[in-house]
């Protein structure tokens, strides 16, 4: 009895030792050389594997970054500048500072603004709906309201507002991975710089129809009147294809375009005070009058000289 | 004689040919027509008229925008008001030529007399040119340019021309009415197409639920005595009029996955296309008219109509002529209830392929979706031998490779899966998107080669 136990222990011990030697030898022989920086970078990245960077996941991102030796083709929108700086430190390279971005829904076609003209009873998916027809409102550019973007968001940052029928972005959760942008068949979601303290301006409409058509479909549509373009002193607003667009790089957040917009298609968000439209309009009028006076003053001396001559 | 049908799948929806006994009426001209530049498969046509131009009926107003494209003619005489985007059936903007109607004067060289011209031109090129210049497209639903289809690529030869008189969609009766009222012209049109395809035999397939049409066409074929034309009776079964199903039924040949009918020596044309070919070749009359059914389950029979309409008439005008939208209609469909498109915009203009205005009642609403019970009825019903339940799952999983392996691109979008599903799962809605995705991948791959 004792003998059996002793022999079992001895055999298993010897077997274990021999096999461990085999494993040791195999591990050395077939070792895969891998840059330790890949692991390091992967740990630094957020680890959401969302694919927002364009790679299959965080490891693929790290692999590509190490192989390239720089970060020219890599940017993690979720981690943003902070993470990218850490990754750059590991790689020992420079990285350009990028402003943090956030998803912006560019449609104001709420149930109140944009009445339904037919009833859709197909699958509740924007993709399916867009493949079938232009939508259940008169606007063929706006939100279809089936929530494909909400389903696409891996961070729970989007939700449908049942009152407006439009998706809403929770800025604290949005990582600007761009999944919603790709999921929207109407391409109304845009990634825009967050702006100082979250303050930013944008045109909440993508309707390329002519003014009257757009207005008929939706009371908050951009009608391409060009007032905002004329008012903007920074050249940030351009109107093309009957719809205005604000270039976030040029916008100085003066909110003048928002004040003059006749339909309220231009939105300013996260400003500390609500916009006093009349005051801003007065300011613009005064400035215009002053400019006109200055122009006349500049033109008049020439006339006087002519008279004198 | 044995009735022919295809070998797998298919369903038997209620016939509902409510307007079958209503004779074709000619619609009066509206004050305005809107002629779409996108009435055919392929590239959009390019308008060659400008606002202010005077046009005559039958005059070319747009040229083909590519190899697969077609000429568009003015359906009326009058003045071009504008050339601008306008909303189509689905609500999307498409270029339209707006014409103010003034009188009804036709362009020169068009034979408007009712006499039947039975002598078939000998020159194949002459026939093809006439078909092309008169803008004939397939009127069975896909509106594929006919001159392209009748001109098989070198090395391929047609063994059989099949005329599709199945009209397997419920409700629609326009093909049935032209088979009855314009029988001889359709048979002559078939003989013209036979000539183009190298004197191949021709089979006119008609479903068994149209005995009057079968008798009329048989009598006409016997009377006109063109060689090699025969009439075959088809079983009533949906989608009997599908191109590949009809080839299977008539010739007992199967088109391989991704293949074309001409690969098995078949050319399929609708009977309405045959009529258009007759008018184009024998009368030099462009395709500016077609037949359309106004019908539906909520429309009393006396308000159902079969109309001969001019292309470009707004649907709303036709609806008005037929007495307006009936009470109780919750859906409007252009085309049959199985494959037709919902009318999102009744102001949309009719196009060459318009076949109906169908009013459907509350009873036709979609029922709430339930869970899949794995009964396999969708796979039994699929006439292409696909597995719709699987395709839907693969699409949800985003597996494009597996979707292609399971031949999602063979789907003909007939809707049999959706019709047969006891859980009301919207199978086709998903499969249609999957098909578009896979077709895109295949096209991109072929372009790379």
User: How far is B204 from B215, CA to CA, in rounded Å?
Assistant: 12
Specify whether B343 is located in the same domain as B436: no
User: How far is B192 from B211, CA to CA, in rounded Å?
Assistant: 25
Which residue in A has a C-alpha nearest to residue B433's C-alpha? A128
As for the ipTM of the complex, it is: 0.85
In a domain, B47, yes or no: no
User: How far is B292 from B270, CA to CA, in rounded Å?
Assistant: 14
Domain count, chain B: 2
3-state secondary structure of B62: strand
Bridge partners of B232, per DSSP, are B205
Specify whether B275 is located in the same domain as B139: yes
In a domain, B43, yes or no: no
Specify whether B388 is located in the same domain as B341: no
In a domain, B197, yes or no: yes
In this structure, the dihedral spanned by the alpha carbons of residues A104, A109, A111 and A116, taken in order and rounded to 10 degrees, is -140
Contacts of B91 in chain A (CB under 8 A): 133-135, 140
Specify whether B143 is located in the same domain as B183: yes
- CA A223, A224, A229, A231 torsion: positive or negative? negative
User: How far is B174 from B23, CA to CA, in rounded Å?
Assistant: 10
Specify whether B216 is located in the same domain as B340: yes
- Specify the pTM: 0.85
Return the ∠ at Cα A73 (arms to A67 and A77), rounded to 5°.
115
CA B328 to chain centre: 28
In a domain, B235, yes or no: yes
In a domain, B322, yes or no: yes
Q: Is A300 on the interface with B (CB under 8 A)?
A: no
Specify whether B295 is located in the same domain as B391: no
In a domain, B343, yes or no: yes
Specify whether B269 is located in the same domain as B392: no
Specify whether B173 is located in the same domain as B124: yes
Contacts of B429 in chain A (CB under 8 A): 122-123, 125, 128, 132
Residue that finishes a domain, picked among B319, B343, B365:
B365
Tens-digit pLDDT profile for chain B (449 aa)? 578 999 999 999 998 999 999 999 999 999 999 999 999 998 999 999 999 999 999 999 999 999 999 999 999 999 999 999 999 999 899 999 999 999 899 999 999 999 999 999 999 999 999 999 999 999 988 899 999 999 998 889 999 999 999 999 999 999 999 999 999 999 999 999 999 999 999 999 999 999 999 999 999 999 999 999 999 999 999 999 999 999 999 999 999 988 899 999 999 999 999 999 999 999 999 999 999 999 999 898 889 999 999 999 999 999 999 999 998 899 999 999 999 999 999 999 999 999 999 999 998 888 899 999 999 999 999 999 999 999 999 999 989 999 999 999 999 999 999 999 999 999 999 999 999 999 999 999 999 88
Specify whether B400 is located in the same domain as B308: no
User: How far is B360 from B34, CA to CA, in rounded Å?
Assistant: 26
Mutation to test the A interface, candidates B339, B429, B434, most A Cβ within 10 Å: B429
Residue that finishes a domain, picked among B365, B399, B430:
B365
Specify whether B171 is located in the same domain as B263: yes
In a domain, B425, yes or no: yes
Min Cα separation B414/chain A (Å): 15
Residue that finishes a domain, picked among B315, B342, B365:
B365
Rg of chain B in Å (alpha carbons): 21
The CB density around residue B437, as the number of other CB atoms within 10 Å, is: 18
The CB density around residue B335, as the number of other CB atoms within 10 Å, is: 21
Specify whether B210 is located in the same domain as B312: yes
| CATH classification at residue B283 | 3.40.50.11540
Contact call for residues A169 and A105 (beta carbons, < 8 A) = yes
User: How far is B434 from B400, CA to CA, in rounded Å?
Assistant: 8
> What band does A56 get if pLDDT is binned at 50, 70 and 90?
confident
Contacts of B433 in chain A (CB under 8 A): 127-128, 131
Residue-wise pLDDT tens digits, A128-154? 999 889 888 889 999 999 999 999 998
In a domain, B39, yes or no: no
| Residues 6+ away with beta carbon under 8 Å from A253 | A195, A196, A199, A200, A201, A268, A271
Specify whether B298 is located in the same domain as B387: no
For residue B297, the enclosing domain spans 1-15+105-365
């Amino acid at each position: 009895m004792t003998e059996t136990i002793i022999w079992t222990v001895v055999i298993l011990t010897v077997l274990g030792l021999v096999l461990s030697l085999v494993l040791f030898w195999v591990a050395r022989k077939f070792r895969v050389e891998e840059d330790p920086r890949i692991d390091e970078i992967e740990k630094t990245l957020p680890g959401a594997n969302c694919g927002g960077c364009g790679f299959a996941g965080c490891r693929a991102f790290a692999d590509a970054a190490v192989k390239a030796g720089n970060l020219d083709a890599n940017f993690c929108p979720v981690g943003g500048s902070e993470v990218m700086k850490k990754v750059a430190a590991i790689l020992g390279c420079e990285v350009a500072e990028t402003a943090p971005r956030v998803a912006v829904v560019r449609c104001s076609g709420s149930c109140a603004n944009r009445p339904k003209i037919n009833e859709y009873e197909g699958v509740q998916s924007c993709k399916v709906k867009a493949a079938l027809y232009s939508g259940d409102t008169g606007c063929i550019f706006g939100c279809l309201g089936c929530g494909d973007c909400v389903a696409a968001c891996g961070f729970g940052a989007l939700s449908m507002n049942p009152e407006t029928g439009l998706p809403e972005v929770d800025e604290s959760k949005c990582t600007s991975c761009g999944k919603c942008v790709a999921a929207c068949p109407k391409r109304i979601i845009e990634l825009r710089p967050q702006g100082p303290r979250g303050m930013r301006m944008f045109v909440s409409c993508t309707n390329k129809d002519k003014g009257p058509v757009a207005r008929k479909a939706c009371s908050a549509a951009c009608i391409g009147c060009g007032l905002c373009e004329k008012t903007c002193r920074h050249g940030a607003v351009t109107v093309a294809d009957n719809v205005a667009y604000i270039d976030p790089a040029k916008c100085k957040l003066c909110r003048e375009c928002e004040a003059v917009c006749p339909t309220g298609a231009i939105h300013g968000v996260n400003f500390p005070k609500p916009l006093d439209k009349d005051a801003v309009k007065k300011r613009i009028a005064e400035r215009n009058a002053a400019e006109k006076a200055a122009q006349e003053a500049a033109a008049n001396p020439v006339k006087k000289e002519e008279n004198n001559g | 004689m044995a009735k022919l049908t295809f070998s797998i799948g298919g369903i038997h929806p209620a016939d509902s040919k409510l307007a079958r006994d209503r004779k074709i009426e000619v619609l009066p001209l509206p004050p305005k027509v809107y002629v779409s530049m996108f009435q055919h498969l392929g590239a959009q046509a390019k308008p060659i008229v400008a606002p202010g131009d005077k046009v005559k009926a039958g005059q070319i107003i747009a040229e083909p925008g590519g190899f697969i494209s077609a000429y568009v003619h003015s359906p009326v005489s009058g003045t071009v008001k504008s050339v601008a985007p306008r909303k189509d059936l689905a609500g999307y903007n498409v270029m339209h030529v707006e014409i103010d109607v003034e009188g009804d004067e036709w362009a020169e060289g068009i034979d408007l007399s009712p006499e039947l011209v039975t002598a078939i031109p000998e020159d194949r090129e002459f026939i093809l040119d006439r078909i092309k210049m008169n803008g004939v497209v397939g009127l069975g639903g896909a509106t594929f340019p006919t001159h392209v289809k009748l001109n098989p690529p070198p090395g391929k030869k047609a063994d059989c021309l099949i005329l599709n008189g199945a009209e397997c969609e419920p409700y629609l009766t326009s093909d049935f009415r032209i088979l009855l009222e314009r029988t001889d012209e359709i048979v002559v049109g078939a003989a013209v197409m036979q000539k183009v395809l190298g004197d191949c035999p021709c089979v006119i397939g008609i479903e068994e639920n149209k005995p009057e049409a079968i008798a009329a066409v048989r009598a006409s074929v016997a009377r006109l005595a063109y060689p090699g034309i025969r009439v075959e009776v088809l079983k009533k079964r949906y989608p009997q009029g599908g191109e590949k199903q009809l080839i299977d039924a008539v010739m007992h040949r199967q088109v391989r996955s991704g293949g074309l009918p001409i690969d098995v020596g078949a050319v399929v044309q609708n009977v309405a296309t045959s009529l258009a070919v007759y008018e184009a070749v024998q009368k030099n009359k462009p395709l500016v008219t077609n037949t359309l059914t106004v019908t539906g389950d909520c429309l009393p029979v006396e308000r159902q109509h079969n109309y001969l309409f001019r292309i470009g008439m707004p649907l709303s005008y036709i609806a008005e002529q037929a007495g307006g939208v009936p009470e109780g209609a919750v859906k409007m469909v252009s085309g049959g209830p199985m494959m037709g498109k919902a009318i999102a915009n009744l102001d949309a203009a009719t196009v060459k392929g318009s076949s109906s205005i169908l009013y459907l009642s509350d009873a036709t609403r979609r029922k709430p979706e339930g869970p899949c019970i794995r009964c396999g009825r969708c796979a039994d019903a699929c006439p292409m031998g696909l597995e719709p339940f699987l395709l839907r799952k693969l699409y949800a999983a985003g597996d494009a490779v597996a979707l292609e392996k399971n031949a999602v691109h063979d789907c003909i979008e007939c809707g049999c899966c959706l019709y047969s599903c006891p859980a009301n799962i919207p199978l086709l809605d998903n499969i249609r998107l999957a098909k578009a995705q896979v077709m895109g991948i295949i096209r991109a791959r072929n372009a790379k080669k």
